């Protein structure tokens, strides 16, 4: 008997886990954006003293996880599991960053949706009675991602206006069995949606159908409406993907325009920073939540948000072979109150 399920894809937790600490590390460009004051650490050098972009991302992962554990007033021995992922092949940024921590690890690939995937699974483990403390984390690095998915920076390739800018950064949270909130109360797990977009420089169009599908399903499963949320924020659709999502959701008779935002829009200034469609990457929603969203929830700017990081489930091989780009989006309800 699945008593915790609501509708097709949603879980309502009996004992919602509490988010007791967050930590964020970002690169120089993110540190010049509108959310700069919310981040714990802003790097002045995207290599951070390492000799490769990949090693730099691993260092960012390790330091961010160490910091969030410390901010939660815990030790690594207190953490039962880490759920984490990145964009690099075989999750090398996460694996090499976490390898010295001696904490059980689940490596995740949800592309840019990884932060909500890690928070969802971590919350399930805690509500299920399998853990007291879990770290959920995600990261990305602009230079490493460009080299892997598009073109090495040395080529100076021109980026089209539909392109987004991969965030350099890591965001991490500690989920706990007991705490004073904010709480993860519901999870709506997304399914793969693919409408045939093949352009790797237009991630917003590829991911928007998945975002809309998850938002609509969440409303249908829970019986809630846009008015039940102070903020609905997608992960990294950017300006183009946001407009497409609004239109697709309207077709199901839900108007979310007044409450919809996007982490990829919030993190950069499109005029002064020349990021075209906005920000993207696993680190985009991770650092935006761990920095901006969490801290403003603590300040009671919002009491209930629907957090929906979005992912493009592509690989260099699939793109080069002419495949379309499947999208996915996982929704997490974060509420200051639980009764």
CATH superfamily, domain at 5-176: Stage V sporulation protein AD (3.40.47.40)
Compute the average pLDDT of residues 56-82.
98
Domain ranges (residues) in the chain: 5-176, 183-335
pLDDT at 152 over 70: no
pLDDT at 98 over 90: yes
Quote the pLDDT of residue 262: 96
Quote the pLDDT of residue 274: 85
Compute the average pLDDT of residues 184-194.
97
* Helix (H) or strand (E) segment spanning residue 5: strand 5-6
Phi, psi (5° rounding) for residue 261?
-135, -175
pLDDT digits (tens, 9 = 90+) for 191-236: 999 999 888 878 888 899 999 999 999 999 999 999 999 999 998 8
Quote the pLDDT of residue 153: 65
What is 183-335's CATH number, 3.40.50.2000, 3.40.47.40, 3.40.50.720, 3.40.630.10? 3.40.47.40
Report how far residue 57's alpha carbon sits from residue 330's, in angstroms, rounded to the nearest whole number: 24
Compute the average pLDDT of residues 112-119.
97
**pTM for the predicted model, two decimal places:** 0.95
The CB-side HSE value for 107 (13 A sphere, CA atoms) comes to 15
Quote the pLDDT of residue 146: 75
pLDDT digits (tens, 9 = 90+) for 124-150: 999 999 999 999 999 999 877 776 676
Confidence of residue 339 (pLDDT cuts 50, 70, 90): low
């Amino acid at each position: 008997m699945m008593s915790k399920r609501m509708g097709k894809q949603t879980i309502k937790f009996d004992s919602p886990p509490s988010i007791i600490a967050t930590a964020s590390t970002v690169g120089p460009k993110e540190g010049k954006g509108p959310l700069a004051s919310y981040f714990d650490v802003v790097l002045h050098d995207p290599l951070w003293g390492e000799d490769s972009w990949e090693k730099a991302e691993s260092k960012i992962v390790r330091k961010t996880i160490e910091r969030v554990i410390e901010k939660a007033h815990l030790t690594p021995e207190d953490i039962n599991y880490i759920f984490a992922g990145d964009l690099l092949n075989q999750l090398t940024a996460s694996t090499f960053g976490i390898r010295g921590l001696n904490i059980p690890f689940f490596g995740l690939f949800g592309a840019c949706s990884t932060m909500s995937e890690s928070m969802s699974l971590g919350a399930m483990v805690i509500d299920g009675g399998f853990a007291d403390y879990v770290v959920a984390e995600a990261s990305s690095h602009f230079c490493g991602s460009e080299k892997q998915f598009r073109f090495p920076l040395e080529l100076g390739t021109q980026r089209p206006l539909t392109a987004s800018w991969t965030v350099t950064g890591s965001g991490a949270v500690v989920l706990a069995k007991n705490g004073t909130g904010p709480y993860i109360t519901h999870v709506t797990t997304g399914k793969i949606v693919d409408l045939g977009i093949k352009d790797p420089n237009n991630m917003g169009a590829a991911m928007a159908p998945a975002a809309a599908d998850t938002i609509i399903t969440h409303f249908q499963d829970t019986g809630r409406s846009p008015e039940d949320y102070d903020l609905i924020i997608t992960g990294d659709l950017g300006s183009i993907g946001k407009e497409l999502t609004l239109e697709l959701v309207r077709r199901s008779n839900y108007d979310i325009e007044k409450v919809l935002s996007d982490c990829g829009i919030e993190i950069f200034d499109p005029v002064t920073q020349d990021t075209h469609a906005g920000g993207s990457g696993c680190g985009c929603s991770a650092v935006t939540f761990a920095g901006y969203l969490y801290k403003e929830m603590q300040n009671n700017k919002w009491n209930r948000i629907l957090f929906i990081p979005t992912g493009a489930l592509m690989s260099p091989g699939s793109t080069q072979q002419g495949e379309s780009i499947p999208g996915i989006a996982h929704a997490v309800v974060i509420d200051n109150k639980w009764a």
